[in-house]
Amino acid sequence: MNQYRVLIQAPDSTGLIYLASKVFFENNLNIINNHEFVDNEQNMFFMRSVVSGDIDARQLKDLLSAALPERATIKIKLARKKNIVLMVTKEAHVLGDLLIRNLEGQLDANIVGVISNYNILRPLCEHFEIPYYHISTENISREEHEHKVLSTLEMFDSLDYIVLAKYMRILTSEFTKRYKNKILNIHHSFLPAFIGANPYKQAFERGVKIIGATAHFVNENLDEGPIIEQDIIQVDHSYDWVEMQQAGRDVEKVVLARALKRVLDDRVFVYGNKTVIF
Protein backbone atom coordinates (compact mmCIF):
# COMPACT_ATOMS: atom_id res chain seq x y z
CA MET A 1 0.00 0.00 0.00
CA ASN A 2 1.45 3.35 -1.06
CA GLN A 3 1.31 6.64 0.83
CA TYR A 4 1.22 9.83 -1.19
CA ARG A 5 1.43 13.52 -0.40
CA VAL A 6 -0.93 15.29 -2.78
CA LEU A 7 -0.19 18.99 -3.35
CA ILE A 8 -2.82 21.03 -5.17
CA GLN A 9 -2.58 24.70 -6.13
CA ALA A 10 -5.30 26.39 -8.17
CA PRO A 11 -7.29 29.59 -8.61
CA ASP A 12 -9.91 29.46 -5.88
CA SER A 13 -13.40 28.31 -6.82
CA THR A 14 -16.32 26.53 -5.21
CA GLY A 15 -16.05 22.82 -4.58
CA LEU A 16 -12.31 22.19 -4.96
CA ILE A 17 -12.04 20.22 -1.72
CA TYR A 18 -15.08 18.16 -2.70
CA LEU A 19 -13.72 17.39 -6.17
CA ALA A 20 -10.37 16.17 -4.83
CA SER A 21 -11.96 14.21 -1.98
CA LYS A 22 -14.37 12.55 -4.42
CA VAL A 23 -11.41 11.20 -6.40
CA PHE A 24 -9.87 9.85 -3.20
CA PHE A 25 -13.13 8.21 -2.14
CA GLU A 26 -13.90 6.65 -5.52
CA ASN A 27 -10.45 5.05 -5.61
CA ASN A 28 -10.57 3.66 -2.08
CA LEU A 29 -7.90 6.00 -0.80
CA ASN A 30 -7.77 6.71 2.92
CA ILE A 31 -7.20 10.38 3.81
CA ILE A 32 -4.67 10.38 6.64
CA ASN A 33 -4.66 14.18 7.01
CA ASN A 34 -5.69 17.20 5.02
CA HIS A 35 -4.94 20.94 5.12
CA GLU A 36 -6.10 23.77 2.92
CA PHE A 37 -5.68 27.54 2.67
CA VAL A 38 -7.03 30.32 0.47
CA ASP A 39 -5.03 33.46 -0.24
CA ASN A 40 -7.90 35.86 -0.77
CA GLU A 41 -5.73 38.65 -2.14
CA GLN A 42 -4.37 36.41 -4.89
CA ASN A 43 -7.54 34.28 -5.13
CA MET A 44 -5.33 31.20 -4.83
CA PHE A 45 -6.24 27.86 -3.25
CA PHE A 46 -3.70 25.49 -1.66
CA MET A 47 -4.32 21.97 -0.40
CA ARG A 48 -2.07 19.25 0.98
CA SER A 49 -3.51 15.79 1.51
CA VAL A 50 -1.78 12.66 2.72
CA VAL A 51 -3.54 9.57 1.34
CA SER A 52 -2.83 5.86 1.29
CA GLY A 53 -4.07 3.07 -0.93
CA ASP A 54 -3.36 0.84 -3.90
CA ILE A 55 -3.04 3.21 -6.84
CA ASP A 56 -0.25 4.35 -9.12
CA ALA A 57 0.94 7.94 -8.69
CA ARG A 58 0.54 8.71 -12.41
CA GLN A 59 -2.99 7.35 -12.41
CA LEU A 60 -3.91 9.41 -9.35
CA LYS A 61 -2.53 12.57 -10.94
CA ASP A 62 -4.46 11.92 -14.16
CA LEU A 63 -7.71 11.41 -12.25
CA LEU A 64 -7.23 14.61 -10.23
CA SER A 65 -6.30 16.55 -13.37
CA ALA A 66 -9.53 15.43 -15.02
CA ALA A 67 -11.62 16.36 -11.99
CA LEU A 68 -10.07 19.72 -11.11
CA PRO A 69 -10.03 22.98 -13.12
CA GLU A 70 -7.60 23.18 -16.02
CA ARG A 71 -5.33 25.73 -14.31
CA ALA A 72 -4.77 23.55 -11.26
CA THR A 73 -1.20 22.47 -10.50
CA ILE A 74 -1.03 18.97 -9.03
CA LYS A 75 2.00 17.22 -7.56
CA ILE A 76 1.96 13.69 -6.24
CA LYS A 77 4.84 12.97 -3.88
CA LEU A 78 5.57 9.44 -2.75
CA ALA A 79 6.42 9.48 0.95
CA ARG A 80 10.13 8.65 0.88
CA LYS A 81 13.53 9.79 2.09
CA LYS A 82 14.91 12.68 0.03
CA ASN A 83 18.49 12.80 -1.23
CA ILE A 84 20.29 15.96 -0.14
CA VAL A 85 23.75 17.48 -0.43
CA LEU A 86 25.10 19.87 2.20
CA MET A 87 27.43 22.69 1.17
CA VAL A 88 29.68 24.26 3.82
CA THR A 89 32.69 26.52 4.26
CA LYS A 90 34.42 26.57 7.69
CA GLU A 91 31.76 26.75 10.41
CA ALA A 92 30.76 23.43 11.97
CA HIS A 93 27.74 24.27 14.13
CA VAL A 94 25.00 23.98 11.49
CA LEU A 95 26.60 21.02 9.70
CA GLY A 96 27.14 19.13 12.95
CA ASP A 97 23.56 19.73 14.05
CA LEU A 98 22.12 18.38 10.79
CA LEU A 99 24.39 15.33 10.85
CA ILE A 100 23.32 14.49 14.41
CA ARG A 101 19.62 15.04 13.69
CA ASN A 102 19.83 12.84 10.62
CA LEU A 103 21.67 10.11 12.54
CA GLU A 104 18.88 10.15 15.13
CA GLY A 105 16.19 9.90 12.43
CA GLN A 106 14.81 13.39 12.92
CA LEU A 107 15.28 14.26 9.25
CA ASP A 108 13.71 12.11 6.56
CA ALA A 109 16.78 12.35 4.34
CA ASN A 110 19.76 10.63 2.84
CA ILE A 111 22.77 12.95 3.13
CA VAL A 112 24.62 11.75 0.04
CA GLY A 113 27.54 14.12 0.34
CA VAL A 114 29.07 17.31 1.71
CA ILE A 115 30.78 19.83 -0.59
CA SER A 116 33.13 22.47 0.78
CA ASN A 117 35.60 25.01 -0.50
CA TYR A 118 37.80 24.16 2.52
CA ASN A 119 39.03 20.85 3.93
CA ILE A 120 38.48 21.86 7.55
CA LEU A 121 35.24 19.94 8.13
CA ARG A 122 36.32 16.66 6.54
CA PRO A 123 37.05 14.91 9.90
CA LEU A 124 33.56 15.75 11.16
CA CYS A 125 31.93 14.24 8.07
CA GLU A 126 34.18 11.19 8.17
CA HIS A 127 33.02 10.56 11.74
CA PHE A 128 29.47 10.23 10.36
CA GLU A 129 30.69 8.30 7.28
CA ILE A 130 29.43 10.99 4.90
CA PRO A 131 31.36 11.47 1.62
CA TYR A 132 33.24 14.78 1.61
CA TYR A 133 34.19 16.68 -1.53
CA HIS A 134 36.76 19.44 -1.20
CA ILE A 135 36.64 21.87 -4.12
CA SER A 136 39.18 24.60 -3.48
CA THR A 137 38.73 28.17 -4.67
CA GLU A 138 42.45 28.84 -4.80
CA ASN A 139 43.92 29.98 -8.11
CA ILE A 140 40.70 29.46 -10.08
CA SER A 141 37.96 31.82 -11.15
CA ARG A 142 34.51 31.90 -9.61
CA GLU A 143 33.08 30.41 -12.82
CA GLU A 144 35.60 27.55 -12.81
CA HIS A 145 34.85 26.78 -9.19
CA GLU A 146 31.10 26.71 -9.78
CA HIS A 147 31.60 24.46 -12.79
CA LYS A 148 33.45 21.98 -10.58
CA VAL A 149 30.71 22.15 -7.95
CA LEU A 150 28.03 21.55 -10.57
CA SER A 151 29.98 18.62 -11.99
CA THR A 152 30.15 17.11 -8.52
CA LEU A 153 26.42 17.61 -7.96
CA GLU A 154 25.68 15.86 -11.24
CA MET A 155 27.34 12.73 -9.84
CA PHE A 156 24.37 12.16 -7.55
CA ASP A 157 21.31 10.40 -8.92
CA SER A 158 17.91 11.85 -8.01
CA LEU A 159 19.23 14.78 -5.99
CA ASP A 160 16.27 16.46 -4.32
CA TYR A 161 17.74 19.43 -2.43
CA ILE A 162 20.95 21.34 -1.81
CA VAL A 163 21.36 22.79 1.69
CA LEU A 164 23.73 25.70 2.23
CA ALA A 165 24.75 24.97 5.81
CA LYS A 166 26.84 28.14 6.25
CA TYR A 167 28.26 28.10 2.73
CA MET A 168 29.82 31.52 2.57
CA ARG A 169 29.97 32.07 -1.16
CA ILE A 170 27.47 33.83 -3.41
CA LEU A 171 26.06 31.58 -6.13
CA THR A 172 25.59 32.90 -9.64
CA SER A 173 22.14 33.22 -11.18
CA GLU A 174 23.04 30.44 -13.63
CA PHE A 175 23.60 28.09 -10.67
CA THR A 176 20.44 29.07 -8.80
CA LYS A 177 18.23 28.86 -11.88
CA ARG A 178 19.40 25.30 -12.50
CA TYR A 179 18.12 24.31 -9.06
CA LYS A 180 15.09 26.58 -8.74
CA ASN A 181 13.40 26.16 -5.34
CA LYS A 182 15.81 23.32 -4.59
CA ILE A 183 18.49 25.26 -2.67
CA LEU A 184 17.95 26.11 1.01
CA ASN A 185 20.06 28.68 2.82
CA ILE A 186 20.38 29.79 6.43
CA HIS A 187 20.97 33.51 6.80
CA HIS A 188 22.23 34.79 10.13
CA SER A 189 19.77 37.66 10.27
CA PHE A 190 16.06 38.30 10.53
CA LEU A 191 15.50 39.15 6.85
CA PRO A 192 14.93 41.54 5.20
CA ALA A 193 17.10 43.42 7.73
CA PHE A 194 20.89 43.30 7.60
CA ILE A 195 21.43 41.63 4.25
CA GLY A 196 24.90 40.50 3.18
CA ALA A 197 28.14 40.12 5.10
CA ASN A 198 28.52 40.33 8.88
CA PRO A 199 24.90 41.09 9.83
CA TYR A 200 25.71 40.70 13.54
CA LYS A 201 28.08 43.64 13.36
CA GLN A 202 25.41 45.59 11.46
CA ALA A 203 22.87 44.69 14.15
CA PHE A 204 25.23 45.70 16.94
CA GLU A 205 25.91 49.07 15.33
CA ARG A 206 22.15 49.62 14.96
CA GLY A 207 21.54 48.80 18.64
CA VAL A 208 18.98 46.06 18.03
CA LYS A 209 17.23 44.30 20.91
CA ILE A 210 16.52 41.08 19.03
CA ILE A 211 18.58 38.99 16.66
CA GLY A 212 17.41 36.12 14.54
CA ALA A 213 17.92 33.77 11.63
CA THR A 214 16.06 33.13 8.39
CA ALA A 215 15.92 29.97 6.29
CA HIS A 216 14.90 30.59 2.71
CA PHE A 217 15.07 29.24 -0.80
CA VAL A 218 17.88 30.73 -2.85
CA ASN A 219 17.20 32.70 -6.00
CA GLU A 220 19.19 35.11 -8.16
CA ASN A 221 18.66 37.98 -5.70
CA LEU A 222 20.97 37.86 -2.68
CA ASP A 223 19.11 36.80 0.49
CA GLU A 224 15.73 37.60 -1.08
CA GLY A 225 14.37 34.13 -1.88
CA PRO A 226 11.05 32.81 -0.49
CA ILE A 227 11.21 32.55 3.30
CA ILE A 228 10.53 29.16 4.91
CA GLU A 229 11.29 29.65 8.61
CA GLN A 230 12.40 32.43 10.98
CA ASP A 231 13.06 32.82 14.70
CA ILE A 232 14.56 35.35 17.10
CA ILE A 233 16.17 35.69 20.53
CA GLN A 234 16.47 38.76 22.75
CA VAL A 235 19.73 40.60 23.33
CA ASP A 236 20.54 43.83 25.14
CA HIS A 237 23.08 46.64 25.35
CA SER A 238 25.62 44.44 27.14
CA TYR A 239 26.23 42.25 24.06
CA ASP A 240 29.02 43.09 21.69
CA TRP A 241 28.73 41.86 18.11
CA VAL A 242 30.85 38.75 18.77
CA GLU A 243 28.57 37.72 21.65
CA MET A 244 25.57 38.35 19.40
CA GLN A 245 27.14 36.07 16.81
CA GLN A 246 27.70 33.31 19.36
CA ALA A 247 24.10 33.55 20.61
CA GLY A 248 22.81 33.61 17.04
CA ARG A 249 24.42 30.32 16.15
CA ASP A 250 21.91 28.41 18.27
CA VAL A 251 19.06 30.12 16.42
CA GLU A 252 20.62 29.33 13.05
CA LYS A 253 20.78 25.60 13.81
CA VAL A 254 17.17 25.36 14.92
CA VAL A 255 15.75 27.49 12.12
CA LEU A 256 17.50 25.58 9.33
CA ALA A 257 16.56 22.21 10.83
CA ARG A 258 12.89 23.24 11.05
CA ALA A 259 12.88 24.57 7.51
CA LEU A 260 14.56 21.49 6.10
CA LYS A 261 12.12 19.19 7.91
CA ARG A 262 9.16 21.08 6.40
CA VAL A 263 10.64 20.87 2.92
CA LEU A 264 11.50 17.18 3.23
CA ASP A 265 7.94 16.47 4.37
CA ASP A 266 6.56 18.24 1.25
CA ARG A 267 4.80 20.87 3.35
CA VAL A 268 6.01 23.95 1.47
CA PHE A 269 4.26 25.60 -1.47
CA VAL A 270 6.19 28.33 -3.29
CA TYR A 271 4.32 30.94 -5.28
CA GLY A 272 5.71 34.28 -6.31
CA ASN A 273 8.33 35.12 -3.70
CA LYS A 274 6.30 33.73 -0.81
CA THR A 275 5.55 30.37 0.74
CA VAL A 276 2.49 28.60 2.13
CA ILE A 277 3.47 26.00 4.71
CA PHE A 278 1.24 23.32 6.18
* 152 neighbors 162 (Cβ within 8 angstroms): no
Please state whether the peptide bond connecting residue 199 to the residue before it is cis, i.e. omega within 30 degrees of 0: no
Three-class SS of the chain = CEEEEEEEEEECCCCHHHHHHHHHHHCCCEEEEEEEEEECCCCEEEEEEEEEECCCHHHHHHHHHHHCCCCCEEEEEECCCEEEEEEECCCCHHHHHHHHHHHCCCCCEEEEEEEECCCCCHHHHHHCCCCEEECCCCCCCHHHHHHHHHHHHCCCCCCCEEEECCCCCCCCHHHHHHCCCCEEEEECCCCCCCCCCCHHHHHHHHCCCEEEEEEEECCCCCCCCCEEEEEEEECCCCCCHHHHHHHHHHHHHHHHHHHHHHHHCCCEEEECCEEEEC
What are the angstrom distances between the C-alpha of 192 and each of 37, 113, 223, 234? Answer: 25, 31, 8, 18
The one-letter amino acid at 197: A
Give the active site residue among 56, 108, 223, 265: 223
Distance of CA 169 to the CA centre of its chain: 18
> Is 223 known to be catalytic?
yes
**Which residues are known catalytic residues?**
223
